[in-house]
Amino acid sequence: MDDEVVSSKHHNLEDIARLSGVSRSTVSRVINQHPNVSEKTRQRVLQVIDQVDFHPNLAARALVTQKLNVIGILIPHIVSKVFSDPFFPLLLQSITNTANQMGYSVTLWLTSTEGDSDDILGQVVNHRLMDGLIVASTVVDESFIQKLDERGKPFVIIGSPNRLDPHVNYVDVENEIGGYLLTQHMIKQQRQRIAHIPGLEKLRSSRDRQAGYLRAIHEAGMDAIIAPPGNFSEEGGYRSMQVLLDQQVDAVFCASDIMAIGAMQAIRAAGLCMPNDIAIGGFDDIHQAALTNPPLTTVHQPILRLGEVATEGIISILDGRVETSFHQILPVELIIRQSA
């Protein structure tokens, strides 16, 4: 079928064929990257396409090729939270850049309120105008992942799923090791009452970072002090730190830099100094971490690399270059600054 391509301007396949001096079917084979075309002919057709700025209709082409070269990005968080947390803009930048470099476009799915998340997830599962999906958070429940799997929709999750199913594709960082390294650093500084502010209890990354904290604390024979979850927000970090101020802590490991920034505000509001009165550390190494006062000690996770690997992974799956499940865990690094 050669009718799969329609011009987005005034030119059509017949025009390209006439200008190139070839048949309409040859133009169609060139556009669909069919190998049965000589290189000389291919270059002549491509030159004409470039000269007249001809654009294939992707939806129509997909009827024949069964491929759109479009990747969906699902961030199952409210829009306001997505763009107030520097993690997600960096991740989106990386995914988009990598996809574009590999010849793919992206479409973004966000939720506007807590109540419409189920509707959005239903739309994503049933959406046909994308080849595969990157789920940029493990906050979605297992039933959604199961539905994607049942529909045969290729996907990669950024973050380890709550249940480590060998069939689920994911990329993550060494969350537990990061929590362990930062807590151990505070122990080596002779801190006696080291507390932890967790993120979201339902996220595996948050639980893993807490597990790293607990391992270091238990190895040192110290008591664990766990604050109420800060929910990966600046306001949450501030509130959780206020609770800890009554417990005479002298160091705090926050499960994200954003929460650490909120906690630092609470420490200053109480008239205390960092790191003399209370040492504080975070996780992520966002741009703002080096600009806080004092600069924030943190665990660096390669956010841009996360996006790259997830995108390369989903495209490898779509191209049939991954025979088994796609699992990658990226290393983290302790970044020591003046806050701890």
pLDDT for 178 equals 98
User: How many whole angstroms separate alpha carbon 84 and alpha carbon 99?
Assistant: 24
* Residue 187 in domain: yes
Total number of domains in the chain: 3
Provide the mean pLDDT of the chain: 84
Q: What is the number of alpha carbons within 13 Å of residue 10 lying toward its C-beta?
A: 0
Question: 114: pLDDT confidence band, cut at 50, 70 and 90?
Answer: low
- Burial profile 276-297: b = 16 or more Cβ within 10 angstroms, e = fewer: eebbbbbbbbbeebeebeeebb
Q: Which residues pair with 72 in a beta bridge?
A: 107, 133
What are the tokens at 187?
Answer: 């122990």
Are residues 192 and 224 both part of a single domain?
yes
Are residues 98 and 154 both part of a single domain?
yes
User: How many whole angstroms separate alpha carbon 239 and alpha carbon 243?
Assistant: 7
Axis-axis angle for helices 234-244, 257-269 (nearest 10)? 50
User: How many whole angstroms separate alpha carbon 167 and alpha carbon 164?
Assistant: 9
Question: 6: pLDDT confidence band, cut at 50, 70 and 90?
Answer: very low
pLDDT in tens, 63-74: 445 567 888 888
What are the tokens at 92?
Answer: 């989106």
What are the tokens at 241?
Answer: 């730190």
DSSP symbols for 271-324: T--TTTT-EEE-SB--GGGGGSSSPPBEEE--HHHHHHHHHHHHHHHHTT--SS
Helix (H) or strand (E) holding 109: strand 105-111
pLDDT for 75 equals 81
What are the tokens at 40?
Answer: 């000389």
Are residues 163 and 179 both part of a single domain?
no
Please state whether the peptide bond connecting residue 161 to the residue before it is cis, i.e. omega within 30 degrees of 0.
no
Q: What is the number of alpha carbons within 13 Å of residue 282 lying toward its C-beta?
A: 32
* Residue 102 in domain: yes
* Residue 337 in domain: no
Are residues 35 and 134 both part of a single domain?
no
Are residues 190 and 289 both part of a single domain?
yes
Are residues 257 and 181 both part of a single domain?
yes
Question: 4: pLDDT confidence band, cut at 50, 70 and 90?
Answer: very low
pLDDT higher than threshold 50 for residue 217:
yes
Cβ atoms of 99 and 106 closer than 8 Å: yes
pLDDT for 297 equals 98
Cβ atoms of 11 and 49 closer than 8 Å: no
Could you give the 3-state DSSP secondary structure of residue 158? strand
- Report CA 14 to chain centroid distance, whole Å: 43
Are residues 194 and 102 both part of a single domain?
no
Are residues 286 and 212 both part of a single domain?
yes
**Between 80 and 1, whose confidence is greater?**
80
Cβ atoms of 260 and 288 closer than 8 Å: no
* Residue 295 in domain: yes
Are residues 211 and 293 both part of a single domain?
yes
pLDDT in tens, 50-93: 787 766 655 555 544 556 788 888 887 665 566 777 888 899 99
Q: Are strands 170-173 and 70-78 parallel, antiparallel or unpaired?
A: unpaired
Could you give the 3-state DSSP secondary structure of residue 251? strand
Place of tokens 């990061």: 178
Write the CA distances from 100 to 194, 288, 316, integer angstroms: 45, 28, 15
Question: 3: pLDDT confidence band, cut at 50, 70 and 90?
Answer: very low
Parent domain of 59: 13-65
Write the CA distances from 227 to 66, 198, 213, 246, 312, integer angstroms: 51, 7, 13, 11, 38
Are residues 187 and 281 both part of a single domain?
yes
**Between 33 and 255, whose confidence is greater?**
255
The DSSP 8-state label assigned to residue 328 in this structure reads E
- In one letter, which amino acid is 48? V
pLDDT for 299 equals 98
* Residue 269 in domain: yes
What are the tokens at 183?
Answer: 């807590």
